[in-house]
Amino acid sequence: MKKNWFDSGRLAAAILAGAALVACGGGGDIAESSTQSVPVLKVEARVQPAGMQEAGAIQSRSLTGGARAQAVELRLGTLNLSKSAVLQDPGVRLIGLARPLAAARSPEAMAGLLHWQATRAGGQVAALSVSAQGAYGLRMGLRVDTLPSNATLRVYSQGRPEAVYEISGQQILQTIARNLEAGDAEDAARTWWTPETGSPEQTLEIELPAGTDPSALRVSLPQVSHIFEDLSLPTEGALETKINESDTCNLDATCYDELAAQRDSVARMLFSKDGNTYVCTGTLLNDVAGSGTPYFLSANHCISTQSAAASLQTDWFYRSPTCNSRTLSAASTRRLGGATLLYASAATDMTLLRLNEAPPTGARFAAWDASAQPMGLSVFGLHHPQADLLKVSLGNVTNLTSCSSSSDNFFNCDGTSGNYYRVALSSGTSQGGSSGSALFSLGSKYVIGTLYGGVTSCSATGTFDIYGRFDVAYNDGIKKWLAGNSGGDGGGASGGASTFGNLFRTILGPK
């Protein structure tokens, strides 16, 4: 993924360094590494039918004014958004910063803020409202020590009580159990992140049924994630245009009718880790059995821990309704249920997730090709630069290359063999938020890779992007889920097992 460059001098230096490392030949033989044992396996796409909904997913409903608990209010001032904070480089597009909430930092402090009120059903309910001046959105990081499984938690803004996100205590406990089982750090594993609701104020309401003592609840709210970027877009038919539009040479994916099917497989990702919130791009994949299991492909430098996966939100059909309309399609829809991390490897910068909630009707499970690709292949990528509407970039695979991290902000690529494709773009570009987006072969429309990083921009010519090779990751472990017994022995996910918790913060022109 690429973010804004620190300065033009560093941009020029990065382009020159990248060219010196990777521009040493276009043809070259296909790498022998780890692909010899992979059967040539291609899986076609399928479409999500109507009526599919994961049981136990976060539910959305309306909450009448009379049913709301009286909330205790906590207010944060304006965020000191220094340039250095915005440009820190964890390898993904940063859109929200962690802010401490001292008044609720411990279970004891939180208990003092929860003023319990009786419900008509004989239970008790309490609510806490947090607002941050100047925020475009908030996510609360609820740290759970103990939580009754029969509790109900609701998230909404005081200004929009008609849009309530509801989840059971049991669902949150299951999320925390997955995080802990994956070996994540205690604080991160025990934190449940509320959905981002697009408001500078967010209310968390906790309801306990009759017979449940509030002392059985030990939770705290040590931090919130302050969303400092406006992620909203005018809906179809509006006259305004989006503020902070992605670079002008980006190509509206809606203008390319030949890619209409593949557009439906791509989602904008929003997730949190260490209190900060980020945006990347991911792609829904079909499996050999055509089971409808929502496997979701992205980048390891975006999500490489179960705790981050659990915080995932996905925005589907997040694109313009007509070519270059610069408004958001009314068909766009969000899923809030998070994901389960199956595989994460720095060797190809690839992550495979299983979404906990079914994708919407009409979403497409993309086709993929688990064989090595020829040099010169025409390719395209579908991505969300700067968290913007869906864009497309077009180019050709020039050669294979081997990449390794060189510093916190960059990686180096060298040679004409390795686990990555070097792609020269002929049209479009990529930016922060594009990370993890799939590389498709233009002729067959199969997924063959995912975006790692690069030095493409609207102002630089002759530059390139780097994509992890899907065939290498497939043979390393992804086949265990996508193919089962159909694609060889199914193998263990050695890449995933060895890299849980690996934050692998690279990026040569991070995307």
> Amino acid identity of 299?
A
Question: What pLDDT digit, counting tens, does each position of 208-217 carry?
Answer: 999 999 999 9
> Amino acid identity of 496?
G
Across the chain, mean pLDDT equals 83
pLDDT of residue 237: 40
pLDDT of residue 39: 60
Mean pLDDT of 193-214: 96
pLDDT at 54 > cutoff 80: no
Residue 4 phi/psi, 5-degree rounding, is: -60, 140
pLDDT band at 86 (very low <50, low <70, confident <90, very high): low
pLDDT of residue 50: 84
Question: What pLDDT digit, counting tens, does each position of 370-395 carry?
Answer: 999 999 999 999 999 988 999 999 99
Specify the residue for token string 């070519």: 323
Mean pLDDT of 435-456: 94
pLDDT of residue 163: 86
Q: 115 with 70: CB under 8 angstroms?
A: yes
Higher pLDDT, 32 or 229: 229
pLDDT of residue 63: 54
CB neighbour list of residue 177: distance below 8 Å, 6 or more residues apart? none
Mean pLDDT of 502-506: 24
pLDDT of residue 17: 35
pLDDT band at 510 (very low <50, low <70, confident <90, very high): very low
pLDDT of residue 160: 86
pLDDT at 49 > cutoff 50: yes
pLDDT band at 85 (very low <50, low <70, confident <90, very high): low
Question: What pLDDT digit, counting tens, does each position of 264-317 carry?
Answer: 999 999 999 999 999 999 999 999 999 999 999 999 999 999 999 999 999 999
Residue 129 phi/psi, 5-degree rounding, is: -110, 130
- At residue 146, the 3 state secondary structure works out as strand
